[in-house]
Structure 1
Amino acid sequence: MTTASPTELAPDAVEPHATPSPSTERARRRRERRRARRRQQARIASRIALSAVLVVGLVTFIRSGRSGDAHDASAVKPTPTTARGLLPAVLAQRDAAGAITAVSVLAPGSGSDGHLILVPPGTMTELPSYGLDAVGRSFQLGGAPLLRAALENLLGVNLEHIDVIDDASLTALVAAGPLRVHVDSQVEQVEPSGLVNVLWPVGDTDLLPGDVPRFLAERGQQNDLARLVRHHAFWKAWLARLHADPALLPRLPGLEDVTPAIAALAKGSVQYATLPVEALDGGGGDQVYRVRQSELDALLEVALPRKVALGAEGRTRVQLLNGTGVVAEAQQVAQRLLPAGFRIVVTANAKSFSYRETQVVFYRREQQAAATRVQRALGVGKLVRSRQPLDVVDVTVVVGSDFKG
């Protein structure tokens, strides 16, 4: 069978073609030349019009791009000082051994009001790779990254700006002369022999810059919650001094993150709070505290801007199990999960260290969406549904060797 062409399929569509006379032929050629010239002119005109449209469009695009860039620069990318001044910052005081003795969360408000929240160093939270421990020990165990992970895990907020300060830097920070502070309860020092010395009695006192570290750190016979009342008194006096004379706040190397937040708080009124906790029996005289979660949630709702909250949909509780044996693996996983809004409630080792593929385990069908978000934050992992119910966590991550921190 042969295939016919379209002409062969419709032979009647071809009309007979008569032979023209010479005069008729000359007239036809003139008409063809005129049509050819008109077509040539039309093509030229079309090209000119098309070129004009392209030029106008290109100019419009460039102008809009420039104006868009200017808008983005002012609305989306504020100056570093403005960005830091409006975001929470943490000033942590450490002793000579590296233990954190005070944690102050500075939260300037979008208007004139701000908040300052003091975190008792003995507050218990899950430290990735180390388990349940006090916030104050995080810096000794893993430096500033672990301190940040501990605080973000505890508070559920983004804390990019953390400065850890020693006694010498604290003295330099408050170096602008004596500071009048009201002492509600006397500050004591307990000698190894048991003898109690009163360092600062009740009432107004003038603190020299070199006295500030000891004034804030000395515990005496009090617990940390009573000691933090003294911190409130110091912050109130110091911010009032800076409000009257902002030039007294020095710009010190290593404190670039927290200084703008201090300056912003000093401009307006400040609401002071201590993290809501209850005392636990830590054994051996240790002062440890458990967060009262509902009160903390209410405090953070007021004190911290919503834009820095992690997990606006509710923080998914995650258990991290090390399935590779790599030291500090959970810290690397936490750096992926905490900014994505997850809360790490348990860290431990898996039953073996031979997991090649990371497993993201969920327990109920309604938890699958959260498990998928965990998988997406990690960038690896296989979703697994466990038939064994587990109420204390929502998702378990068994870290395999495919995870690259």
Structure 2
Amino acid sequence: PVEIGGGDVGVGCDERGCNLVDHHRVGGLERVRAAVASVLDVEVTAATLLTPERWKSLAGSVGSVPVNLAGELVAASGDGTSVVRFPAGTAQVAASDVVDFFSFPGEVGGAGRIDRQRDWWKSWMSAVGSGKPDTNLPALDLDVIHLLGTVAGGRVRVPVGPWTGGEDVPTIDQGRLVDLVVAMFPVPIPQAPGLRPTVRLLNGTGDRSVDSAARQAVLRAGVELVVVGNYRSAGVIQTRVLHRDPADQPAAAALAAALGGGVLHDEFLSPVTDLTVVIGSDFRMDGQ
């Protein structure tokens, strides 16, 4: 329920210009899925519509959850009087109130709607993750239920969205968006396969703690990661980018510069991908 993008709104605006409410009004759930995929610049293969009743069932699987509010969330009643919908301090958000809580507009006490949604998700995911997540979730055959059960069973981080500006017209912070994408998608599916050099990433250090940093560094370079694995032997010293086709040399050089490695041409290299990256012990996990 957060808004994405600014610019012209409504029928005829492009996918980066509409907000999600407009996308759903114009083209339903499929257009929302396509819009989110366009912003993330990765393929999103599925989307689930959570109706108010489904939200109630999903949220109610662990009962009400506590959310700390810096100020009161006040709504206007039918006769025009003001009603405190959610009190300041630690508010217990019941399942039946989640939709209202998520959609409550405005900034209160320095926290906006997106901040409140983030805090609810942190509290709720913590509750789901206590014990066995599968038993803490409703018995609904939805992809999102299986996803939440898997995520809640591990280490959960709910980052602040990659937005700047006010809630009425938020602007995407591209640097933070890239950080979010590389953290969310270990091997992202491209929206349009074949437009970027394909890469096979091999760890030649023998140290598995390098894997995540190397994968993220490769993805930040703007290539299409296809294969991730280990080099045939450990103990590689120099990080290098190999290419088989001389036409791929510029792409190899650009990727090597981003990783701090060298470039090698190997005419016998596997044709599975355009480039092969072999990570050596000189690879700096801090990106420096």
TM-score, structure 2 length as denominator? 0.56
Q: Summarize the Cα distance change of 1:148–1:180 in structure 2 as closer, same or farther, 3 Å threshold.
A: closer
Would you say the 8 A contact 1:156–1:309 is kept in 2? Answer: yes
Call closer, same or farther: CA 1:134–1:307 in 2, change over 3 Å.
closer
Contact 2:163 2:170 in 1 (8 A): yes
Indicate conservation of the 8 Å contact 2:74/2:82, yes or no. yes
Counterpart of 2:157 in structure 1 is 271
Residue segments in structure 2 that go unaligned for 5+ positions in a row: 197-223, 225-288
CA distance, structure 1, for counterparts of residue 12 and residue 110 of structure 2: 26
User: Which structure has the higher relative contact order (CA within 8 Å, separation 6+)?
Assistant: 1
Q: Residues 300 and 128 from structure 1, CA distance in 2 versus in 1: closer, same or farther, beyond 3 angstroms? A: farther
State the AA in 1 paired with 2:47: I
Matched, 1:249 2:137: yes
Displacement of 1:194: 7.3
Match of 2:48 among 140, 153, 163: 163
**Given the superposition, is the C-alpha separation of residues 138 and 225 from structure 1 closer, same or farther in structure 2, using an over 3 Å criterion?**
farther
How does the TM-score come out when normalised to structure 1?
A: 0.41
3-state SS of 2:67 partner: strand
Corresponding position: 1:308 with 2:189? yes
Provide closer, same or farther for how the CA distance between residues 304 and 194 of structure 1 changes in structure 2, counting only shifts above 3 A: farther
- How far apart, CA to CA, are the structure 1 residues paired with 2:175 and 2:193? 16
Structure 2 counterpart SS, 1:189: strand
* 2:114 counterpart SS class: helix
2:23 paired with 1:138: yes
Counterpart Cα distance in 2 of 1:128 and 1:147: 14
Equivalent residues in 2 for 1:375-390 (5 A)? Answer: none
Superposition RMSD in Å:
3.3
Q: Deviations over 1:34-61 (max 9, x none)?
A: xxxxxxxxxxxxxxxxxxxxxxxxxxxx
Report if the CA contact (8 A) 1:276-1:292 is conserved. Answer: yes
Quote the Cα distance in structure 2 between the aligned partners of 1:238 and 1:184.
Answer: 15
Q: Which of 204, 221, 240 is matched with 2:90 structurally?
A: 204
Q: Which secondary structure does the structure 2 equivalent of 1:287 belong to? A: coil
Q: Which of 117, 123, 126 is the equivalent residue of 1:240?
A: 126
More helix per residue: 1 or 2? Answer: 1
Rg larger in 1 or in 2?
1
Q: Structure 2 CA distance, aligned partners of 1:276 and 1:145? A: 23
Counterpart-to-counterpart distance in 1, 2:161 and 2:137: 26
Tell me whether 1:295 sits opposite 2:183 in the alignment.
no
- The alignment-based identity, stated in percent, is 19
Q: Which of 114, 117, 130 pairs up with 1:228?
A: 114
User: For the structure 1 residues 223 and 153, does the alpha-carbon distance in structure 2 shift closer, same or farther, using more than 3 Å as the test?
Assistant: farther
Q: Amino acid of the residue matched to residue 214 of structure 1? A: D
Distance 2:111 2:173 in 1: 14
The total of aligned residue pairs comes to 191
Aligned amino acid, residue 101 of structure 2: F
Q: CA deviation at 1:152?
A: 0.8
